[in-house]
Chain A
Amino acid sequence: MTQVTCPGLPASWINGWLAAVGATVLDARIRLHWTTHGAPLAVLSAAEVNPVDALAESWPDTALLKDLPIAENWKGGGKLRRKVPVEAFVARARAARSHQYSWTLSSTMTDLCVDGNGEVAHAPFDPAGPGTIKWLHHRLMKLHDQLEPSTERIRDSLAGRAVRVKDNGLGFDQTRLGSLADGTSIWIDPVVEELAFFGLALLPVRGRGADRRSNPHADVRGRQRGWRKTTESPNAYCFHWPAWHQPLGSAAIDALMDAWNPEQKPTWPRVGVHAGWRSVRFEPRGSADTTRAFGAERL
C-alpha cells in the first residue's frame, strides 16, 4: 500500500475536496482518506501502485474530454452551450444513456427543472459566468489545454507547490480571486480543477419536477447532491462535505455521503467522519458583479 499525503488538497477547500474525490473517480485503484489533525489533508492511497503514477496513467486526454456528452458538439446533434433547451438536453441524455460519462450531464443540469424559456436548470457547481467564462465544458477544455500532464506536474499540484495559471477554472473556486480592491488577475491550478470536475461524478443534480411554462410559480431551481438547508442555514442551500479517516474508493465515498448527516455531529464517528464543512457563497459587490465562488465554514 502506497499513500501520498496531499498538502495541496486540504479538506477545507471545496475544490481541493472535489479534486481528491475526483482522483478516486478517475482511477478506481485509488482510495482516499483525510488526516485527522486540525486542518485535514487528503491522503491518496493504492494497493499496488503509487497513486500519483496511477493518476498520471489515467489522466484524460483531449480526445476523451472532447467526447464528453456535455461537449458543445457531440455525435452530430445540436450544439450544447450555456442555455440548454430541454429538447437539446433530452436528445443528449438519450444518446448518452449508456455512455461511461453520462454523469457529466446528470451532474451539471437537470430536466426536472425547466424555466419559462424552456431551458433546463444548472447545478450550483456549474455556475454561469460572463464573457470568456462561457459554459462548463468550454472551461474544462480551456484549463485542460493549459496543462502538460506528467507525474511531476500532478505531484507538485497535490503537494500544493505547482505554478498556478491565469484562468477561471471551473468557475467557482474562491481561491482564484485575488484582491477585490485592485482587480488583480485570477489564478487556478488546472490539475486541481480538472480533478475537481471528475469529483462531480458523485453529485447528480435533480429537482422537484417542475416546468415554469405550465406552472409560472413553480420552483425550478436544480438541487445538487450534498446541497441542503440545515437548522443553521434554513434559508439557503449550502454544500456540506466531510473528512473521514478510513481509506475509501469512490463507491464507498458515495455511500458515506448518504450515511453522513452534517446535522448529527454525535453520529459522525460511526461512519468515520471527524470533520465537516459547509459552503459560503461569495457575496457579489454589486448587481453587475457576476463573480461566482464558494468559500468554506467548518461545522
Chain B
Amino acid sequence: MTGAAADVLLLTGLTREREANRIRAKILDREHGMDAKRDASLGRQRHLIVVATQTLEVGADIDAEYLVTEACGVRALTQRLGRLNRLGRYEHAQAVYVHLPPPKLRRGGKPHGGDSDTWPVYGSEAAGVLKRLQDACGDEGTGTVELSPRRVAEVLGPPNDVPGRAPEVLPGILWEWTKTTTPPDGEAPVEPYFSGIAGPQYSVSLIWRVHVPQEGQRLWPRATDREAVEVPIGEVRDVLGDNDLCRLTSDGHTVEATSVSDLRPGDQVILPTDRGLLDAFGWNPTASDPVVDVSLFGRGLPLDARAIKRLCGVGLGGLIDTALGINDEDEDIDQAEQDEAVKEILTVVKAASTPPGWDQSDWTDFIGTLTPQVVEARKEVPRLRTKSHSDGTLETVSGVVAGASVSAPADLSIVGWDQPSRFRRLSDRFGPWGLALLEAILIRSDHAVSAGASLALERPR
C-alpha cells in the first residue's frame, strides 16, 4: 500500500463536535468507509486508514480488515478485536500488537507511576497481556496467535486492571451534576470518579471565537459544549507558554483576564480564531490556520473590527464606528448615516470570499441570514441580527399526559420557580439516568417534529 493510495483519518477525544461528526461520517460511509453494514464485495479505490483512540471504540459499528494496536489492557484489547473482521467476512484479517516500553514522563524523566512496568491508562496490566499473548504463541516461533471471538477470552484471560481509588458518588454530589440549571460553582470534578483519585486527567475547555471580549464583558453567544475541546491542562500550559488568556468566570458568561499559570481544571478559555491550534482532526498544537468560529452559525455577526477582520479578512473599523454612532470628532452621527453604514458593512461581508475552514454552504447560509438590524446588549458586543423564524410555539404549551392535563409557560424569559421542584420530583420518580433517557427522547422528538416529521405514537402494550 502506498500513501497516495490511502485516505488517513484521525479521531481522538480532542475534537469539537463539528469536526468529530465529519470524521465519523467518513469512517461510517457505506461506500468508502468501514461501516459494518458496508457491502464487503465492493472493491476499494483507496484504502482507508483510521488512527483512533478509544473514542472510536464506544458504540461504533465498524468492521476493519486490519488492526494495529499499542500495548493495552484486556478490556481494551477485547473491544478492539471486536472491531476486526466483525462479521467474519475477511479471511485475511490480522491484528498486530505493538508492545513498547512505557513512555517517559515529560518532566523528570521517570516512567509513569514511577514503575518501569507501568503504562499510561493501563498500568501494569499491559505487561500481563503481552505475557498471555506470548504464552498463546507457543514454541513454534511464528509470533502469531489465532484469536477468533471464541478464543479471545480464553487467551487473554480475565482483566487484571486495578483502578486507583475512586471517590464515592453520594446523592448530594450526583445531584449537582444532574441539575440542568447553571452548573454549581465548584461542583465536584468528574475525572476522579472515572480515572481514580491517584492520577485524574485534569483538563480545561478551549473554545475559538472571532470576538474575544475584554475583561468584564460578556461572551456572545454563550459558550456551549459543542464548540469546546477538552485539553489536558498541562498540555495547554506548555503550548500557550506565558501568554495572557481570557477565561469565563463562574457565571459562565463574563470574561476575565488570566495567565496560563493561573489556569485551573475546568476553566473555559476563549482563544481568538487566528490563534490556530485546531485543525480538521481536532486539537493540534502545531496548527496555525484560522479556526472556524462555530458559535456564529445562525446567530449573527459581531460588529467589532477585529472580529470581522478575523472572520473574513476585511478592515471595517471606521464603518463600524459610524454604524454604532461612535465619533471621535464630537460630530453627531444621525440614524440615517448609521443605517447606511450598517448596510455597507453587510454588503462588504457578503461580498467577501468564503473564509478558510468554512464550507461554502455554511458561509452562504450564514451571510444569507444576516439582517441590517443592530442588537446592542449591555456588556456584550453589538451585532447584526439574523432573520428570525417563528416556530409557532404559543405562550403556554398544554397537553394531556397519562390522563392529566399539563400546561407550562413557553416564554423562556420568565423564571419558573416551580420548575426546580418539578424537576426534583421527576428525578426522584425516574432516577437521574431514567430522566436523562426521557430528556433524550424528548429532544429527539422535538428535533424530528421541527424537521417536519409526522409522528405516530404507539400505545405501549
Q: Which residues of A contact B254 (CB under 8 A)?
A: 264
Identify which of A209, A223, A263 contacts B167 (C-beta below 8 A).
A209
Q: A218-250 interface mask toward B, CB cutoff 8 Å, 1 = contact, 0 = none?
A: 000001010110000000000000000010110
Which of B261-276 touch A at CB < 8 Å?
265
Distance in angstroms from B164 CB to nearest chain A CB is 8
Q: List 25 A-B contacts (CB under 8 A).
A: A90-B168, A94-B168, A97-B168, A102-B171, A102-B172, A103-B172, A111-B197, A112-B167, A114-B197, A204-B175, A206-B176, A208-B189, A208-B202, A209-B189, A209-B197, A228-B186, A228-B250, A255-B179, A257-B184, A258-B181, A259-B415, A261-B251, A263-B251, A270-B415, A272-B417
Asked whether A107 is an interface residue with its Cβ less than 8 Å from the other chain, the reply is: yes
B265, A208: Cβ atoms under 8 Å? yes
B167, A259: Cβ atoms under 8 Å? no
Distance in angstroms from A94 CB to nearest chain B CB is 7
A211, B415: Cβ atoms under 8 Å? no
- Determine the distance from Cα of A261 to Cα of B253 in the docked complex, in whole angstroms: 11
Q: Which residues of A contact B250 (CB under 8 A)?
A: 228, 261, 263
Distance in angstroms from A298 CB to nearest chain B CB is 20
Q: Say whether, besides A112-B197, A208-B265, A249-B421, A227 and B186 are in contact (CB < 8 Å).
A: yes
Identify which of B167, B186, B187 contacts A111 (C-beta below 8 A).
B167
- Determine the distance from Cα of A4 to Cα of B424 in the docked complex, in whole angstroms: 26
B188, A206: Cβ atoms under 8 Å? yes
Asked whether B170 is an interface residue with its Cβ less than 8 Å from the other chain, the reply is: yes
Q: Which residues of A contact B420 (CB under 8 A)?
A: 251-252, 254-255
Asked whether B390 is an interface residue with its Cβ less than 8 Å from the other chain, the reply is: no
A255, B171: Cβ atoms under 8 Å? no
- Determine the distance from Cα of A249 to Cα of B189 in the docked complex, in whole angstroms: 27
- Determine the distance from Cα of A94 to Cα of B182 in the docked complex, in whole angstroms: 28
Asked whether A210 is an interface residue with its Cβ less than 8 Å from the other chain, the reply is: yes
Q: B173-205 interface mask toward A, CB cutoff 8 Å, 1 = contact, 0 = none?
A: 101100101111111110110000110101000
Distance in angstroms from A223 CB to nearest chain B CB is 5
A105, B170: Cβ atoms under 8 Å? yes
Asked whether A12 is an interface residue with its Cβ less than 8 Å from the other chain, the reply is: no
Asked whether B249 is an interface residue with its Cβ less than 8 Å from the other chain, the reply is: yes
Interface centre among B167, B251, B254, B423, by most chain A C-beta atoms within 10 angstroms, is B167
Interface centre among A94, A248, A255, by most chain B C-beta atoms within 10 angstroms, is A255
Q: Which residues of A contact B265 (CB under 8 A)?
A: 208
Q: Which residues of B contact A249 (CB under 8 A)?
A: 421
B184, A258: Cβ atoms under 8 Å? yes
Q: Which residues of A contact B18 (CB under 8 A)?
A: none
Q: Say whether, besides A97-B171, A103-B171, A251-B420, A258 and B179 are in contact (CB < 8 Å).
A: yes
Distance in angstroms from B180 CB to nearest chain A CB is 10
Distance in angstroms from A1 CB to nearest chain B CB is 15
- Determine the distance from Cα of A254 to Cα of B417 in the docked complex, in whole angstroms: 11
Asked whether A168 is an interface residue with its Cβ less than 8 Å from the other chain, the reply is: no
- Determine the distance from Cα of A227 to Cα of B185 in the docked complex, in whole angstroms: 9
Distance in angstroms from B292 CB to nearest chain A CB is 31
A248, B251: Cβ atoms under 8 Å? no
Asked whether B110 is an interface residue with its Cβ less than 8 Å from the other chain, the reply is: no
Q: Which residues of B contact A208 (CB under 8 A)?
A: 189, 202, 265
Q: Say whether, besides A106-B173, A206-B187, A252 and B168 are in contact (CB < 8 Å).
A: no
Known: A105-B172, A228-B185, A267-B251. 11 other contacts (CB 8 A): A103-B172, A110-B188, A204-B170, A204-B176, A209-B197, A223-B186, A225-B185, A227-B186, A252-B420, A255-B419, A258-B184
**Range, interface on chain B:** 35 or more
Q: Which residues of A contact B185 (CB under 8 A)?
A: 225, 228, 258
Q: Which residues of A contact B181 (CB under 8 A)?
A: 255, 258-259
- Determine the distance from Cα of A262 to Cα of B179 in the docked complex, in whole angstroms: 20
Distance in angstroms from A228 CB to nearest chain B CB is 6
Interface centre among B168, B179, B192, B251, by most chain A C-beta atoms within 10 angstroms, is B168
Asked whether B75 is an interface residue with its Cβ less than 8 Å from the other chain, the reply is: no
B188, A96: Cβ atoms under 8 Å? no
User: Which residue from chain A places its CB closest to the CB of B168 in the assembled complex?
Assistant: A93
Q: Which residues of B contact A255 (CB under 8 A)?
A: 179, 181, 417, 419-420
Q: Which residues of B contact A102 (CB under 8 A)?
A: 170-172
Asked whether B165 is an interface residue with its Cβ less than 8 Å from the other chain, the reply is: yes
Which of B132-191 touch A at CB < 8 Å?
165, 167-173, 175-176, 179, 181-189, 191
Q: Say whether, besides A204-B173, A255-B179, A263-B249, A225 and B184 are in contact (CB < 8 Å).
A: yes
Identify which of A96, A214, A257, A270 contacts B170 (C-beta below 8 A).
A96
User: Which residue from chain B places its CB closest to the CB of A97 in the assembled complex?
Assistant: B170
B172, A264: Cβ atoms under 8 Å? no
Identify which of B170, B184, B419 contacts A93 (C-beta below 8 A).
B170
Distance in angstroms from A110 CB to nearest chain B CB is 7
B170, A106: Cβ atoms under 8 Å? yes
A206, B421: Cβ atoms under 8 Å? no
- Determine the distance from Cα of A254 to Cα of B420 in the docked complex, in whole angstroms: 8
Asked whether A271 is an interface residue with its Cβ less than 8 Å from the other chain, the reply is: yes
Interface centre among B183, B192, B419, by most chain A C-beta atoms within 10 angstroms, is B192
Q: Which residues of B contact A223 (CB under 8 A)?
A: 186
B423, A251: Cβ atoms under 8 Å? yes
Which of B241-285 touch A at CB < 8 Å?
249-251, 254, 265
- Determine the distance from Cα of A111 to Cα of B188 in the docked complex, in whole angstroms: 11
A209, B200: Cβ atoms under 8 Å? yes
User: Which residue from chain B places its CB closest to the CB of A207 in the assembled complex?
Assistant: B188
Asked whether A125 is an interface residue with its Cβ less than 8 Å from the other chain, the reply is: no
- Determine the distance from Cα of A257 to Cα of B424 in the docked complex, in whole angstroms: 15
- Determine the distance from Cα of A105 to Cα of B174 in the docked complex, in whole angstroms: 13
A206, B170: Cβ atoms under 8 Å? no
Identify which of B168, B202, B417 contacts A89 (C-beta below 8 A).
B168
B198, A214: Cβ atoms under 8 Å? yes
B172, A259: Cβ atoms under 8 Å? no
User: Which residue from chain A places its CB closest to the CB of B180 in the assembled complex?
Assistant: A255
User: Which residue from chain A places its CB closest to the CB of B256 in the assembled complex?
Assistant: A231
- Determine the distance from Cα of A86 to Cα of B59 in the docked complex, in whole angstroms: 36
Q: Which residues of B contact A86 (CB under 8 A)?
A: 165
Interface centre among B170, B182, B200, by most chain A C-beta atoms within 10 angstroms, is B170
